[in-house]
Chains A and B, each alone.
Chain A
Amino acid sequence: MLLHYTPVEEEIKQIKFGLYSPEMVRKMSRAKITVPDTYDDEGYPIDGGLMDQRLGVIDPGLRCKTCGGTSRTCPGHFGHIELVRPVIHVHFAKHIKNILYATCEHCHKVVLTKEGKRPKKCPYCKKELGEIKFVKPTTFYLNNKELMPTEIREMLSKIPDSEVKKLGYDPLTARPEWMVLTVLLVPPVKIRPSITLESGEKSEDDLTHKLVEIIRVNQKLEANIAAGAPQLIIEDLWNLLQYHVTTYFDNETANIPPARHRSGRPLKTLSQRLKGKEGRFRYNLSGKRVNFSARTVISPDPVISINEVGVPYEVAEELTVPIPVTEWNMDEMKELIKRKEYPRALYVIRKDGVRIKITDTSRDKVLEDIGVGWVVERQLKDGDIVLFNRQPSLHRISMMAHIVRVLPGKTFRINPTVTPPYNADFDGDEMNLHALQLEEARAEARELMIVEKQILSPRHGRAIIKPSEDQVTGIYFLTRDDAIFTKEEASKLLYIAGITKLPRPDVDGKFYSGKLIFSLLLPDDINVKYTSKMGEEVVIEKGVLKKGAVDSKGAEHAILEVVFAKHGPEFTKWFLDSLTKMALEALAWRQISVSLKDYVLDMKAKAKIKKLLEDMDREIENLILKFKNKTLERKPGMTLRETLETMIMNITSRTRDATGEIVRESLGKENPSIIMASIGSRGSILNAIQMSAVVGQQAIRNKRPNRGYYKRNLPFFRKGALTAREKGFVYSCFSKGLEVDEFFHHAMAGRESIVNTAIRTARSGYMQRRLINAMQDFIVMEDFTVRDSGGRIIQFIYGGDARDPIFSAIESKEEFDESPREDDVDTASR
């Protein structure tokens, strides 16, 4: 079998967790560490010191005294420190407390009552039970007398295995007395490498610093005990040892000051290495890094297919794809090796796994030696399949497979139609590309991840890869009743879409209607009928657009989804490609742009709006008057002031909406902004209103702004005034420009929305992380049950009907197929 990667020979089946016994630690240890120092004056590791060469080596020149390996091959070995006096392991202090609390200090049996309380008297030996007190982090009291770790260890070791089991601990892997440390395992040097600074000075790792201190205190304690020092001094040193060992394990223990570096920075000890977002688990173990990837800015190219990605030459020259050499492709591979320009081979991998770079000097030798079983790493070229991804990867379609198309230029090019699943735009977004290295991966990518298979979103079963913005506008102009093309124009449009057969002209015997041209993209079995956003009926019969202009509703869903349902991914891909090209070409001829004059209202409209606003002011004034006279009727569940505020808010929003009609009328139906809003390609009527008529009420927390100076928002307002203007109504429009006070209120509301977005992204990000974590192991089994990784059943039939949500919206669009089948869900799930 041809393999260009090392197959897995041994793999991890399971991982068992447990505690090390002191004996085990000594057995594992390759060196007893006794010297609280690292290197001698010559910069050579001290024997018995923390950099002992038996613990492995990090200097490239040296060899490990245990395994003889170099810094590259030696995995590192553990050492140990014999603690003169035992100390508590902080992380297990709580467990120790629970065990002490649950057992009799005389006969060491579990004495807990049914309620989980410690009785006054031991039910077995009938002796009085003392009161166990635990003071965080590591101090214990029995009857208000402090228990030293030696005594605790003594008590714990006397608990028989059978009693330990009763407490829910596994005596084979975790004897309670092992939670009190008598020997300390010293991690290999590899785990705590020292760094040589530019000045030649050596800087030690935080863990090494901590270990130095532990040994130092340990030695001092030993000397004092040997010298017969007073108990008080010994206990002080013992506590100090406890402190250092505690912070060695966890430097964020509550109630004790963190150990600090000379600079005042808290040390990063064992727990800190594992914990949190930047810790070993989340950063290094769950977050894998990859080779064969590229990242650059993206830009649009409507001419390439939606499943393609334009790759710059610079990238294609760097990324490689491994090709196993066989007798059938030998000549082709040799040709690649011979080449000195772009599509060439960069490396070959020999049968023994050695990688050789192809250079002018090595080329001839490689060509001579190459045989079946070698692997050639050639540059990325057209037709290769790659993964393409944009962060944040919020759903699975944030990463899809594309076909490479090598293009000049320095950016990745994608068809604008595939931006929605990536949520990408071209204002400087960057994306990542991964060159697949295994045939299996390439096959999976092609079968499962390729763009056209993701046209429908698994979230709701509706199209997510769909025309938007300019494409919709283009389709609209193309299918309008007034879209008529000459033979030359029609030929151009059709040629762009890849259609070479010109139909019979349908208008006046020599012109071609846009509807006819559009219909040529549709297969004959498409029948659609829907009401467009403008209220017009759109009818497609047997693949021919009979009536109406296609708007966003049709282009994005009604038509597209039917095409997908009936003709599947490949055809829909072609449909979208052709439609995009054709629509953009048609739009380029018709042109759409906006300028300031598109938002200028006529005098009549201006007068009408002025009147509307005056009416609004009058109405509000009346309300305020009523409010002050207390004649305003209170709404249920609200105070009088709240009633007034909601009523005013209603009036202001009603007024702004009312201007909509005036704006629509004044700007006219053919106003580009109005067209885009009404066919749903970009913007809304509100944008037009704000630009040409009135910006409207600014709100903070859905209320009129009410902050700033005493009883007023801005210093030049009257105290206590409640009029629209003084509470944030913007009378001006954007094209005219805002007054000072209006500008200020608008900025207030603008700031709120920015803050809200920032908060929302953070909150929803965390929610999604939790959701993923909670549900990531749920999968559908062969019997259509949903189970978690423990085999527990979540659902008996996925979704109640075993239907793929991708297709949840589609079946109605296809002819209904009711005849029961053998592979029907109910029979299949039996």
Chain B
Amino acid sequence: MKRKYRISPGEAVGIVAAQSLGEPGTQMTMRTFHYAGVAEHVPTGLPRVIELVDVRKRPKKPIVDIGLKKELCKDRKKAEEFAYKIEAVSVEEIANVYEVMRDKKIIVEFDRNAAEIYKIDFEMLNKALRFKNKKVEGDKIIIEVKAKKSKDKKRNETKALRRLYNKIKKKVVKGIEGITKAVVVEKDGEYFIRASGDNIKALLKFEEVDPSKIYTNNIKMIEEVFGIEAARNALVRELKQVMDMQGLTVDIRHIMLLADGMCFSGTVKNVGRHGLAGSKASVLARAAFEETIKHLTEAATKGEVDRLMGVSENIIVGKTVPIGTGRVILEYKPEKVKNKKHSKK
């Protein structure tokens, strides 16, 4: 590479990257994206960038792309079968669930017609519902609710009933928890499964799944399962994808720097007060960002020292910022003068 194309030492690449990612924010749309058949209203544009930069535990609409082993990826039928296998079917889809307030019990009524579509029989439902106080009456499973003894028994029982009711409704009878709406998609002559959900931990246990070809838009999940390097790459990929989709060009280096900044500590940190900005070395920089009082009191108790190495701190105390031309001192040595009387800045 030619020297003139190389980055200059001292260049404030962080600020440039932040501006390059932030400035187009005003031009981004707030619209959502539609993954055919898998999920609607998947955030794109600004909301998605904010979601990525915040590193939410779970994105609003998690999507997982499941690559398949050789035997399946060429065969649409087999792929579909597998998609069918992993798709989660919850109790409420194959049974009617009632709560009976008076008797403090929940009735799960097996719906044969609905269950048939999913090829689920009563036994599977029965197995999925593992509770102590369970009674089977024909097609019905009756579960009694007992609340822990406490002062306000009645309220507690109602609460417990409601909690259990919701739990039972969402209980998975078949498939993998969290994986819904699995659809077979073709790309470059190979089939893979796209589903809504992010439970790659469970998916990786299946033989049919090619572990090198599984991907989710949940960065935290990738970090947990595949580690920090994978999370960084996923972050770059997701950010790039959003920008491309909006028709905005941002140099990949800026995105990479952001991702590296978020990941270099070993865990994915968000850019807010509880992440990168909150873990800065300088007390003044942190105080100037958010939670001023908290940072000042904390610094006082620890006897922290601000060594004024960053940008914010030096602006606050009124010194030159140690970035770019602020990092170097200009010296001028007139040729004729022999002694050391050169002048410093």
Contacts and interface: CB of A to CB of B under 8 A. Distances in A.
A700 to B, nearest CB: 12
A776 B18 contact: yes
Given A92-B301, A702-B32, A782-B9, A285 B288 contact: yes
Which label, helix, strand, loop or mixed, suits the secondary structure of the A interface? Answer: loop
Interface stretch (B167-175, B223-231, B257-265): B257-265
B53 A771 contact: yes
A444 B28 CA distance: 34
Contacts of B258: 771, 775
Nearest to B3: A823
Interface string B271-288: 110011100111111011
Contacts of A804: 5-8, 11
Nearest to A448: B325
Interface in A621-669: 635-638
A232 B178 CA distance: 60
Contacts of B10: 779-781
B297 A808 contact: no
Given A15-B284, A282-B288, A286-B312, A174 B9 contact: no
A18 interface: yes
B49 interface: yes
Contacts of B282: 789
Contact of A274 (B16, B37, B285, B293): B293
B85 interface: no
B25 interface: yes
Contacts of A67: none
A169 B300 CA distance: 9
A771 B300 contact: no
Contact of B6 (A169, A458, A825): A825
User: Among B25, B38, B46, B275, which residue has the most Cβ atoms of chain A within 10 A?
Assistant: B25
Interface in A804-830: 804-805, 807-808, 810-811, 817, 821, 823-825
B300 A18 contact: yes
Which label, helix, strand, loop or mixed, suits the secondary structure of the B interface? Answer: helix
B325 A444 contact: yes
Contacts of A388: none
Contact of A275 (B21, B285, B292, B343): B292
A763 interface: yes
Given A12-B308, A780-B7, A799 B256 contact: yes
Contacts of A764: 22, 25-26, 28, 46
B49 to A, nearest CB: 7
Contacts of A786: 13-14, 257, 260
B280 A789 contact: yes
B244 to A, nearest CB: 12
Contact of A281 (B12, B49, B287): B287
A248 interface: no
B151 to A, nearest CB: 19
A501 interface: no
A250 interface: yes
B253 interface: yes
Interface stretch (B64-72, B117-125, B197-205, B313-321): B313-321
B254 A459 contact: yes
Contacts of A19: 300-301
B294 to A, nearest CB: 8
A110 to B, nearest CB: 16
Given A14-B307, A786-B13, A768 B2 contact: no
B318 to A, nearest CB: 8
A17 B7 contact: no
Contacts of A793: 264
Contacts of B264: 792-794
A282 B261 CA distance: 24
Nearest to B183: A636
B283 to A, nearest CB: 6
A17 B6 contact: no
A798 B17 CA distance: 12
A760 B251 contact: no
A179 B265 CA distance: 33
B297 to A, nearest CB: 4
A637 B40 contact: yes
B251 A770 contact: no
Interface in A741-786: 756, 759-761, 763-765, 767-768, 770-782, 784, 786
Given A275-B292, A786-B257, A795-B260, A772 B15 contact: yes
A294 to B, nearest CB: 23
Contacts of A824: 1
Nearest to A287: B315
A749 to B, nearest CB: 13
Interface residues of A, number: 96
Contacts of A781: 9-10
A13 B308 contact: yes
Contact of B261 (A169, A761, A794, A810): A794
A725 interface: no
A174 B303 CA distance: 7
Contacts of B75: none
B181 interface: yes
A322 B186 CA distance: 70
A440 B330 contact: yes
B245 interface: no
Given A274-B292, A764-B28, A170 B1 contact: no
B131 interface: no
B304 interface: yes
B249 interface: yes
A760 B30 contact: yes
B250 interface: yes
A459 B292 CA distance: 32
B127 interface: no
Interface string B20-51: 11111110101110001111100000110110
A637 B293 contact: no
Contacts of B21: 768, 771
Contacts of B5: 803-804, 807, 810-811
B27 to A, nearest CB: 9
A250 B296 CA distance: 13
User: Among A16, A92, A761, which residue has the most Cβ atoms of chain B within 10 A?
Assistant: A16
Contacts of B345: 440
Nearest to A284: B316
A271 B285 CA distance: 17
A343 interface: no
Nearest to B5: A807
Contacts of B304: 16-17
User: Among A1, A286, A807, A824, which residue has the most Cβ atoms of chain B within 10 A?
Assistant: A286
User: Among B19, B257, B316, which residue has the most Cβ atoms of chain A within 10 A?
Assistant: B19
A16 B13 contact: no
A759 B272 CA distance: 19
A16 to B, nearest CB: 5
B306 interface: yes
B293 A459 contact: no
Contacts of A460: 20, 249-251
Given A786-B13, A786-B260, 18 more contacts: A14-B306, A15-B284, A16-B305, A173-B303, A274-B296, A395-B20, A458-B20, A459-B20, A460-B20, A770-B272, A775-B257, A778-B261, A789-B309, A789-B310, A795-B257, A798-B7, A803-B7, A804-B5
8 contacts: A12-B319, A285-B288, A394-B23, A636-B36, A637-B36, A774-B271, A776-B14, A780-B10
